[in-house]
Structures are given as structure tokens and as C-alpha cells.
């Protein structure tokens, strides 16, 4: 999730978005669908496929024509062209997963001022200028990871944390929640590893940490891409079962690996609910069913600690991500939609 605010392309793109976006028309017939643009943070991964499932379910229920777009990497310079293209269509509302906490703030402020509802999902802005923010409590998720790790290891020993990129408030909060609780219990936490979204780089960094720290007790990973690399490094080192691995997210492969003993616990989010709630809220505001003045800014979603004892429990089915949209109907049923 790199910051790219210095890019001339980004500055021009933000200006373009502000110039071409239009307020919703006052006289829209009931039969005419609302035009809503949904800018994903990173398409092609189970977390966002699950979010798309929720968004499209809500769109069908709420008379929304949904324009779902996004880059394949978490990068504002790559996300911005999709935002520009969507803006050309003059959507009446937006849902945005901001890959940068600051770049889009002026534009979102302007959209909101002209009556265009903007909801953000998954990651926070540096200023609360949108109508609502729907995301996990990332710090509490880091604390949940510390709780799971402590139950596995007693909370003593040496641990390494795998983050993503410096300066990302959501990932930084996941790191801080874990580090604060583990160090408070007397554990040693090594410097945070920063592989970005590159699973190969994550594998190399974790492999080096395993080699340089023979007393390593556990590894905590803050996102799915790096978790794949960490799992590979543990298997390559022959440390499965010995080194405890706790990670964010619940991709299908992560669930399989959890059951096979590669992971020891997963901190699963509710991306379906992020997609569903955000699109429904925008539609409700556009239809007049919800007064924007009554909307609370923070709308946190839940998370769960998954382990080998509960991964197959139907009570946790809503926390399992899907690999493709062919599984959307089953996910919607599990979510109660």
C-alpha cells in the first residue's frame, strides 16, 4: 500500500475527479437504477472478491447499477486511473477503499459538499471527511492476534511481525495492537518486516529471521499476501508446528493450511459486510430513506479468531472468504443476506 502523493499523475487525476463528478439528479424515477462507483483497493484476491459479493448483493436489492473497479496491487498510482474512469461516468455515489490516507481527501470533501455520498471501506482516511467509514477495528484485531499467540505459546519468547509498507494506518494499527499486548506480557518482539504485498519477499524476509533468530517462538502476519510467504518459509525451514503462525484474513488456501497445521490461528474479517453495508447506505441516502445527517461516521465490522477447532463450525461461516464469485450465493446465505 505505498504512498504516491508526490506523483504529478495523481495530482492531475484528483483534479479531474473533482471536475467531472456530478451531483445526483433531483428527479430520478423509482425504476431508474442509482449509479454507484465502487473503487476496490485490490481486485483478484479473496478478501475483495468477498467484498464484491456483498456489494453486488446489496446492489441487486437496492436498485443500484454498480460499477466495480480496482487495481491488482494496493497502490494509489494504480488505483487512481480507475477512479478517473469511473468519474467520467458521473456516478451519483461512491464507495472507495482508499489505498492512501490523504490523496483523495480534498476530492471527497468536495463530493460530500455537493450532495454526493461517499463511503470508505477497509482502510481509513487521515481525516473523517466521508459520510461513513466501514472497516475492522484494526488495533483490536492486532490485540486478538496477540491473544491467540499467547494462548499458543504462553506469551513468552521472541516474535517477529510482518507488516506491509510504512505509514499505512490500518496495517500499522494491526502491528501496534499485537506489539503492545505482547511486550506488556514480557515477550520480545523483533523489528517489523515490511515486504509490501510481495509474498516472495515476505518468504525471504521470514526465512532470514528464522535463520538469524534460532530462539524464535512465533510469527504474526498482518495480511494474506505476506502470510502466504511466511507459511512457505516455515515449511521450507522444517519448523511447522514448532514456530507458531498467526495471520490476518481467511482466504480459502489459508483455511486449508490452518486445518493442515501450517497456521495456528487466523484473524478473519467480514469483507462481505463491508461491501453490503456500504452500497446499501449509499442507495438509502440517494433514495431519501436515510438522512445523511443521522449517519454515524464509524461503522466497524466484526472479526473472529479462527483455529482448527472452529474453522468448520457453521457459526463462523460468514468469516470465510470466497475465491470467486460463483460462491457468492452461499456466502450471502451465510451472512444472512
Q: Which pLDDT score, from 0 to 100, does residue 13 have?
A: 45
Domain residue spans of the chain: 8-136+270-301, 138-268
**Mean pLDDT, residues 105-110 taken together:** 94
Q: Which pLDDT score, from 0 to 100, does residue 226 have?
A: 96
Q: Which pLDDT score, from 0 to 100, does residue 12 have?
A: 41
Per-residue pLDDT band at 6 (split at 50, 70, 90): very low
Q: Which pLDDT score, from 0 to 100, does residue 336 have?
A: 86
* CATH placement of domain 8-136+270-301: 3.40.50.2300
Whether the predicted pLDDT of 103 surpasses 70: yes
> What is the C-alpha R_g of the chain?
20
Q: Which pLDDT score, from 0 to 100, does residue 62 have?
A: 97
**Mean pLDDT, residues 211-217 taken together:** 95
Cα separation, 266 vs 46, whole angstroms: 15
Q: What is the pLDDT of residues 246-281, one digit of tens each?
A: 999 999 999 999 999 999 999 999 999 999 999 999
Q: What is the pLDDT of residues 287-335, one digit of tens each?
A: 999 999 999 999 999 999 999 999 999 999 999 999 999 999 999 999 9
Specify burial of residue 211 (Cβ count, 10 A radius: 0-12, 13-18, 19+): exposed
**Mean pLDDT, residues 176-205 taken together:** 96
Whether the predicted pLDDT of 19 surpasses 80: no
Residue 223: name the closest of 240, 241, 192, 199 by CA.
Answer: 199
Tell whether the torsion through CA atoms of 280, 282, 288 and 290 is positive or negative: positive
Pick the CATH number of 138-268 from 3.90.1150.10, 3.40.47.10, 3.40.50.2300, 1.10.110.30: 3.40.50.2300
What percentage of residues in the chain have a pLDDT greater than 70?
Answer: 91
* More confident position, 118 or 3: 118
Q: What is the pLDDT of residues 129-176, one digit of tens each?
A: 999 999 999 999 999 999 999 999 999 999 999 999 988 889 999 999
Residue 253: alpha-carbon gap to chain centroid: 17
Say if pTM beats, i.e. exceeds, 0.85.
yes
Cα separation, 115 vs 131, whole angstroms: 10
Cα separation, 128 vs 112, whole angstroms: 12
HSE at residue 211, side-chain half, CA atoms within 13 A, is 9
Whether the predicted pLDDT of 75 surpasses 60: yes
Q: Which pLDDT score, from 0 to 100, does residue 30 have?
A: 58
Average pLDDT across the chain, whole number: 91
Q: Which pLDDT score, from 0 to 100, does residue 8 have?
A: 33
Whether the predicted pLDDT of 18 surpasses 60: no
Cα separation, 202 vs 182, whole angstroms: 22
Whether the predicted pLDDT of 20 surpasses 90: no
Same fold: 8-136+270-301 with 138-268? yes
Amino acid at each position: 500500500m505505498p504512498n504516491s502523493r508526490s506523483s504529478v499523475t495523481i495530482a492531475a487525476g484528483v483534479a479531474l475527479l473533482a471536475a467531472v463528478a456530478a451531483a445526483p439528479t433531483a428527479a430520478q424515477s423509482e425504476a431508474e437504477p442509482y449509479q454507484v462507483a465502487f473503487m476496490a483497493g485490490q481486485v483478484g484476491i479473496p478478501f475483495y472478491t468477498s467484498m464484491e459479493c456483498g456489494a453486488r448483493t446489496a446492489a441487486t436489492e437496492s436498485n443500484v447499477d454498480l460499477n466495480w473497479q480496482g487495481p491488482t496491487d494496493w497502490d494509489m498510482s494504480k488505483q487512481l486511473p480507475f477512479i478517473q474512469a469511473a468519474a467520467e461516468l458521473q456516478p451519483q455515489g461512491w464507495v472507495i477503499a482508499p489505498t492512501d490516507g490523504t490523496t483523495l481527501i480534498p476530492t471527497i470533501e468536495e463530493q460530500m459538499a455537493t450532495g454526493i455520498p461517499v463511503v470508505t471501506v477497509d482502510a481509513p482516511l487521515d481525516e473523517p471527511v466521508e459520510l461513513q467509514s466501514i472497516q475492522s477495528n484494526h488495533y483490536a484485531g492486532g490485540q486478538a492476534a496477540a491473544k491467540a499467540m499467547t494462548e499458543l505459546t504462553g506469551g513468552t519468547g521472541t516474535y517477529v511481525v510482518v507488516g506491509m509498507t510504512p505509514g499505512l494506518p490500518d496495517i500499522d494499527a494491526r502491528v501496534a495492537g499485537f506489539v503492545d499486548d505482547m511486550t506488556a506480557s514480557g515477550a520480545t518482539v523483533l523489528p517489523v518486516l515490511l515486504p509490501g504485498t510481495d509474498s516472495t519477499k515476505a518468504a525471504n524476509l521470514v526465512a532470514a529471521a528464522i535463520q538469524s533468530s534460532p530462539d524464535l517462538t512465533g510469527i504474526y502476519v498482518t495480511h494474506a499476501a505476506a502470510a502466504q510467504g511466511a507459511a512457505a518459509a516455515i515449511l521450507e525451514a522444517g519448523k511447522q508446528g514448532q514456530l507458531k503462525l498467526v495471520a490476518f484474513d481467511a482466504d480459502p488456501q489459508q483455511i486449508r493450511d490452518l486445518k493442515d497445521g501450517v497456521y495456528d490461528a487466523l484473524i478473519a474479517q467480514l469483507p462481505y459486510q463491508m461491501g453490503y453495508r456500504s452500497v446499501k447506505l449509499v442507495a438509502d441516502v440517494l433514495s431519501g430513506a436515510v438522512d445523511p445527517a443521522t449517519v454515524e461516521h464509524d461503522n466497524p465490522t466484526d472479526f473472529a479468531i479462527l483455529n482448527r477447532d472452529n474453522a468448520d463450525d457453521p457459526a463462523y461461516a460468514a468469516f470465510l472468504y470466497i475465491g470467486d464469485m460463483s460462491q457468492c450465493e452461499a456466502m450471502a446465505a451465510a451472512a444472512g443476506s
